[in-house]
Structure 1
Amino acid sequence: MCQCGLFLLREGNFKYVSFFESLVNPFPSGEPRTPPRGLLPFLLHYSKPVLPWLTVLALITALVSVVELVVLSYVGSIVDWLADTDREVLFAEHGRALIGMALLVVVGFPLLVLAQSLFTHQTIFGNYPMIARWLAHRYILGQSLNFFQDEFAGRVSQKVMQTALAIRETVLKIVDLFVYVLVYFLGALFLMGSADPWLMLPLGIWLGIYLAIGFIFVPRLRLISMAQADARAQMTGRIVDSYTNIQTIKLFAHTMREQEYARGAMTGFMDTVYRQMRLVTVLTVALQTSNALLLASVAGIGIFAWQQGAISLGAIAVAIALVLRIRSMSDWILWEVAGLFENIGTVQDGINTIAQPPTVKDKPDAKELVVSTGDIRFEQVRFGYGKEPPVVDGLDLHIRPGEKIGLVGRSGAGKSTLINLLLRFYDVEGGRVLIDGQNIAEVTQESLRRQISMVTQDTSLLHRSIRDNIRYGRPDAPEEEIVRAARRAHADEFIRELEDQKGRVGYDAHAGERGVKLSGGQRQRVAIARVILKDAPILILDEATSALDSEVEAAIQEQLYTLMEGKTVIAIAHRLSTIAMLDRLVVIDEGRVVESGTHAELLEQDGLYAALWQRQSGGFLGLEPQEAVG
């Protein structure tokens, strides 16, 4: 190992290395922007923080290739000196040149390699892909809800991870190939031409053949690589989907079915691998054949020229050394080019996922939502998820400050759609939604959702501690308020008895992915504790107690009534008995409000609500009359 390498390994000298590591911030600040969809603009989008150091690296790489050529040229000179100079006067005549060459080889070249390695491995290698991961992850977190509904979570995460690495590999390979190779080949042509112009001929012909091989094979490899990147993400997505829903798979005894489901994606991936390897075999044979022809032709021309007295032995030595170096480089170059286009394929595949613009965006002048009373208005709202007929069509609804209403209607009537529009998971296609007179389309999404608490039927917890899950409602909440919220949700007792597989107990125990380590009722109580802690002025309850047993439900209902005090509340429940005591019930049918009033008033009207009340069987809605009778 060289002295500079030993110096860096000594205790206390890592600070010099850490200096290069700190030249780039892997977590750049600023709001993430929608990445451009063009390849070069997309690469530039994630490369800006490292561009100065990529430029430095390119200059050092050019110097490294120049030094290699200078060393090879000196090798030819040494051969000529040894052939033409007497042993007694060799050092007298050429000593300074030999010492200079020795210093260049022993000191100059290692220092250049050290600088190249420090900028490559310390400044760029780790920081560069992390910049892409960080920016892409932050951007995707801001994507609209429908983006995640249309994609596998595993597939999206795979695209983020592999695209970040592919960006780094693409740019570094471009620097290596177009700087190192350009300088090296131009230098090789110059050295051969200065020895004998005829030596340039086989190198020129070989270069033409080499470029032809590249033009034939590399685009095909790029297309296969794009297909392979997509197939890999599809395979990962299916596998992650199986693991995420393992309880359902076990419940329905579909292990073999899931194996076949994953195998289908794996077979598709292997198809791209086989296609790629077939091209690689033909490419390797073509490359090695052209390399063999280059070596034979340069050696033949060199020997013939030496016989004619046209060139020296040193020139032949340099030419053959260059050819041997080019032979080894050519294999590396073509694989680097193939790898470059493989990474380009991966980047382009990632662009299709990462560079999608959000469907719901904050306006440039969006303000913070300020909720003083909690007055909510839906005015002539129309929405249909981009399809016809719309799910909600011309709906008008006014929820007064502090009013507690229940949304009632058959499945598909538009109840959940209204909630999604209020939370601005989607933008209305017509009309507007107002909170305290402020159009929610003109305020920031985060400020809107900070003012709304929601408990859903299908509660999903983060794979973090129970404390962190509850604190998600208010991140700055002290410990005593977290415990108080858990007690109010009747969760404290079971939380204190929890222990996970790593021995963490109570509030430190982890909930498992999506809260799988807890029962449905336990997850629901943790979610209610989270909402209690958040204490937002608008409260949405979507089957909030459906996963609870009767005794716990009765206890929590009391806490929910307490929680509702002073808040505007929208509740959805299939069991009408759970919302019958609210201030007003709003009946929705075919995307419109068809009835509104108290439970008693609606029964007196003998309309749709009364029919639903009569038909209710087992606590659920949506049955047609003949189904209810049957």
Structure 2
Amino acid sequence: MFAWFERRLNPYPAPEPQAPPQGLIAFCWHYSRDAAPWLVMMGITAALISVGEVMLFGFLGSIVDWLSTADQAGFLEREGTRLAWMGAMVLIGLPLTVYLHSTIIHQTLLGNYPMIARWQMHRYLLRQSLTFFANEFAGRVATKVMQTSLAIRESVMKLTDVFVYVLVYFIAMITMVASADWRLALPLVAWVIIYASLIRYFVPRMSAIAADQADARSAMTGRIVDSYTNISTVKLFSHSRREEDYARESMDQFLETVHRQMRLVTRLETSIYLNNSVLVFLVAALSIYFWMNGIVSVGAIAVVIGLSLRINGMSQWIMWEVSGLFENIGIVQDGMDMMARPHDVVDRRNAAVLSARHGQIEFDQVRFHYGKASGVIEDLSLSIRPGEKIGLVGRSGAGKTTLVNLLLRFYNLESGRILVDGQNIAEMTQDSLRAQIGVVTQDTSLLHRSVRDNIAYGRPDATEAEIIEAARKANALEFIAGLEDAVGRKGLDAHVGERGVKLSGGQRQRIAIARVFLKDAPILMLDEATSALDSEVEAAIQENLFALMENKTVIAIAHRLSTIAEMDRLVVLDRGEIVETGTHAELVAGGGIYAALWSRQSGGFIDVDADADAGPAAAE
């Protein structure tokens, strides 16, 4: 039975994730459509439970009247049928309704409903641009996904469960009390008005604080995660105390929102309790007065006082549910600002699948400024023949890595176009484009998974033999055999830690190179691919790198000019423009920028001068 209800709602909807709409109701509905039928069922069962519970108080009043006035002889014959119906409702009707209500909530909704939102948010964010993630803490993004998905569930379920229950309960309660004497219902009506006024005054203020608190919590989590992610840098500079102060600043901001919230809670709770006390006093006093004047029966008094005491307890629960609702609404509104941001780089409608059989690349009057007025790439045109090996040379900020990122379509061009085998990459799907390009970067980041998983990331369907062969070509088998993680997994099964922190820079680089060997894409990009390797290891895999380049179009970036001197052609960039092109020998003989860089090398590296006019750090 439980399993049947658990399978009623698919937590992983298949359709491609879409940008959620702006606006609180539309945003929540975007993630609630699949769960809507079960939310309605939950509301219906909640209404039935509330009516049943009010009827129990009515039964209590009837029983009191019967027992106080009826003759014991023949009582069951006269009232047996009504008592049987009461017993059936108490023993069968209400328990079954509560069981169905609880099963819908706990088996169908509580787990699956937020997972639908979490799944869609995660898939949508994975398709965000590099700019988005460059501007956000990874920990902050993850926290927003978790908080917002749970807050949507709590907000919608409270509205369709708690408030349906409360609304129906109050209507049934006032109707029942008024049926005895309408004047007895007046204190209840007054209580509802005062209670609603208190909620209306306090809760929006609590909601505003909750939004500040959610943002402060995300910022605090982001700062803490940032310290852990860069723990080696923290220790290298002996800045544990500085990181403590950095985290404490955000903790203080979070704590300030908590103090503001708790002050409001104390005032609200005290006001509600006073309102409840006045209600119980007035109802009891009026009931006694009406009884003394023969207006109401003892049973009616039992009903109205019992309901008043029930309200006294319910009001505290309602208060927390309402404040929780608005707190969650604040969290949803805070998360909506991030989740509803449109993607910067998107595939066109009916985008084609790119096929790169030859690997010809054409940069045609490309212009890109990272949104600035000038700089980075200016009207650049470059043709790369199929199978040609190109080396990009230039000082930091010249635009080398930016050019590579534009080919990968991490950013949209401001003008111009880039063609691969005559196909405009702006008209192709991003996935099909990147499937044709193998990349090894200077700053290699590995997934916190096994060595096997990291190598197979280049081609997930690869066989074990192919993974081992790729590791051998990258000269990585020897060190992989000696790996063992904290739980005893060895070799290819060993996990590498977050971003590959358990491995040296050279080991991470060799796994990254093995990954690209396995991918075997027709276009290869090497962005300082051997910079983290010592000379002996670099020499050992250099031959295999040239084997990898065979029959591929290659774009290589290196400050160590000796690593790209053997390329078919070198292209020298300066301030986003091509200033020289030719072979190593031709450029050295030409006496231009490349010749100057070659002659100024120390230990094989370019003497890098910071370029004040360069693009942002991300450009290089």
Indicate the TM-score class for this superposition, using the shorter chain for normalisation: over 0.9
Letter in 2 for 1:42: F
Instruction: Report what 2:336 is aligned to.
Output: 351
Secondary structure class of the residue paired with 1:253: coil
Corresponding residue for residue 69 of structure 1 = 54
The amino acid across from 1:590 in the alignment is R
Output aligned runs, 1:566-581, within 5 Å: 566-581=551-566
Provide the residue aligned with 2:153 in structure 1. Answer: 168
Shift of 1:416: 0.9
Q: What residue in structure 2 maps to residue 12 of structure 1?
A: none
> 1:301-360 CA distances to partner (integer Å, 9 max, x unpaired)?
111111111111111111111111111111111211100000111111111111211100
Aligned with 2:92 (options 107, 111, 130):
107
Q: Distance in 2 between matches of 1:242 and 1:624?
A: 30
* Letter matched to residue 157 of structure 1: A
Correspondent of 1:461 among 436, 439, 446: 446
Tell me which of 285, 299, 308 is aligned to 2:270.
285
Alignment-derived partner of residue 92 in structure 1: 77
Alignment of 1:515 with 2:500, yes or no, is: yes
SS of residue matched to 1:280: helix
Q: Distance in 1 between matches of 2:457 and 2:608?
A: 38
Which residue of 476, 479, 482 corresponds with 2:461? 476
Q: 2:587 aligns with which of 589, 592, 602?
A: 602
Q: Does the residue aligned with 2:402 lie in a helix, a strand or coil?
A: helix
Distance of 2:378 and 2:291 partners within structure 1: 91
Correspondence 1:466-505 to 2 at 5 A: 466-505=451-490
| Aligned residue in 2 for 1:123 | 108
How far apart, CA to CA, are the structure 2 residues paired with 1:89 and 1:249? 87
The aligned amino acid for 1:205 is A
Equivalent residue runs for 1:583-622 within 5 Å: 583-622=568-607
One-letter amino acid of the counterpart of residue 300, structure 1: A
> Tell me, what secondary structure is at the counterpart of 1:48?
coil
Q: 1:211 aligns with which of 196, 200, 216?
A: 196
Deviations 1:471-529 (A, max 9, x none): 11111111111111111110011111111111111111111111111111111111110
Aligned counterparts of 2:364 and 2:286: Cα–Cα separation in 1: 88
CA contact (8 A) 2:42 2:105 kept: yes
Q: For the residues of structure 1 that align with 2:597 and 2:83, how far apart are their CA atoms?
A: 100
Letter in 2 for 1:64: I
TM-score normalised by the chain length of structure 1: 0.95
For 2:221, which of 224, 227, 236 is the aligned residue? 236
Match of 2:252 in 1: 267
* Alignment pair present for 1:537 and 2:517: no
Output the amino acid matched with 2:605.
F
For 2:320, the aligned partner's letter is W
The aligned amino acid for 2:295 is A
- Tell me, yes or no, if structure 1 residue 151 matches structure 2 residue 151: no
User: Residue 614 of structure 2 corresponds to which residue in structure 1?
Assistant: none
Question: Is the 2:396–2:608 Cα contact (8 Å) retained in structure 1?
Answer: no
Does residue 27 of the first structure (1) align with residue 12 of the second (2)? yes
Is 1:370 aligned to 2:355, yes or no?
yes
Kept in 2: contact 1:411–1:622 (CA 8 A):
no
Equivalent AA in structure 2 for residue 45 of structure 1: H
Residue 196 of structure 1 aligns with an amino acid whose one-letter code is D
Distance in 2 (CA, whole Å) between partners of 1:541 and 1:285 is 67
Q: Please give the residue correspondences for 1:544-583 in structure 2 after superposition, counting only pairs within 5 Å.
A: 544-583=529-568
Structure 2 counterpart of 1:310, which letter? I
AA at the equivalent of 1:198:
R
Corresponding residue number in structure 1 for 2:40? 55
- Cα displacement (A) at 1:623: 4.2
What amino acid is aligned across from residue 79 of structure 1 in structure 2?
A: V
Residues 391 and 590, structure 1, Cα contact 8 Å, conserved in 2 = yes
Tell me if the contact between 2:42 and 2:161 (Cα under 8 Å) persists in the aligned partners.
no
Deviation at 1:622, TM superposition (A): 5.0
Residue aligning to 1:440: 425
- Worse-matched range after superposition: 280-289 or 599-608: 599-608
Write the distance in 1 (CA, Å) between the matches of 2:604 and 2:286. Answer: 94
Distance in 2, Cα, partners of 1:414 & 1:454? 17
> Residue 618 of structure 2 aligns with which residue?
none
Q: Which letter maps to 2:133?
A: F
Q: CA deviation at 1:18?
A: 0.6
Alpha-carbon offset, residue 624 of structure 1: 5.3
The verdict on how the C-alpha distance between 1:441 and 1:240 changes in structure 2, with shifts beyond 3 A counting, is same
Q: Which runs of 5+ in 1 are unaligned?
A: 1-15, 626-630
Instruction: Please name the residue that 1:141 is paired with.
Output: 126
The count of aligned residue pairs is 610
C-alpha distance in 2 between matches for 1:90 and 1:79: 13
**2:378 match:** 393
SS of 1:398's partner is strand
Q: Which is worse superposed, 488-497 or 200-209?
A: 200-209
Identity among equivalent pairs (%): 61
**Alpha-carbon offset, residue 620 of structure 1:** 3.3
CA contact (8 A) 1:382 1:390 kept: no
CA contact (8 A) 1:195 1:315 kept: yes
Corresponding residue of 1:180: 165
- Alpha-carbon distance in 2 for matches of 1:87, 1:532: 94
User: 1:365 Cα shift?
Assistant: 1.3
Q: Answer yes or no: is the 8 Å Cα contact 1:72–1:318 preserved in 2.
A: yes
Q: Distance in 1 between matches of 2:551 and 2:153?
A: 54
- 8 Å contact from structure 1 (residues 462, 515) kept in 2: yes
Instruction: Report the equivalent of 1:9.
Output: none
The one-letter amino acid of 1:330's match is S
Query: Is residue 2:317 matched to residue 1:332?
Result: yes
Instruction: Determine if the alignment matches structure 1 residue 528 to structure 2 residue 513.
Output: yes
Preserved contact between residue 615 and residue 623 of structure 1 (Cα < 8 Å): no
Shift of 1:617: 2.9
Give the partner amino acid of 2:341: Q
Q: Is the 8 A contact 2:51 2:169 kept in 1?
A: yes
Letter in 2 for 1:420: N
Provide the residue aligned with 1:6 in structure 2: none
Report if the CA contact (8 A) 2:354-2:428 is conserved: yes
